[in-house]
Amino acid sequence: MEVLTITSKNFEQEVLKSDLPVLLDFWASWCGPCKMMSPIVDEVAKELNGKAKVGKINVDEEPNLASSFNIMSIPTLVVIENGKLKTQSVGVKSKEEVIKMI
């Protein structure tokens, strides 16, 4: 499954109403650790195809979504299941650690 770009316009449909768990990657283009995390998130999306959705939220373009999750540092990974926050983690993680979150 392709990584989705999550915005305030599609957040409710793609995340809150999803039948699958959703991994959200909060990132920014100027963030070095985010650039390290991006290919890992892409791999997780391919590996969990059909088992989970994966989306990326640019904190500079979607400040309201970032503040609604109290994002203070990036990269931050969030897992939403059945419309509710399941887990949240700050910093670079291995692919295995990310998959365990879901």
Q: Going residue by residue through the chain (102 aa), what tens digit of pLDDT does each one get?
A: 789 999 999 999 999 999 999 999 999 999 999 999 999 999 999 999 999 999 999 999 999 999 999 999 999 999 999 999 999 999 999 999 999 999
Edge-to-edge strand ranges of the sheet holding 4-5: 4-5, 53-58, 22-27, 76-81, 84-90
Q: Which amino acid is at 59?
A: V
Nearest-angstrom CA–CA distance, 13 and 36: 28
CB 3 within 8 A of CB 42: yes
Residue that the structure tokens 């990269």 belong to: 75
Active-site residue numbers? 31, 34
The number of helices, as runs of H, and strands, as runs of E, in the chain is 4, 5
Query: Tokens 């791999």 appear where?
Result: 43
Q: Which pTM value belongs to this model?
A: 0.96
Q: What is the pLDDT of residue 1?
A: 72
- Its CATH architecture, for the domain 4-101, is 3-Layer(aba) Sandwich (3.40)
Q: Which of 47, 90, 51 is nearest to 71 (CA)?
A: 90
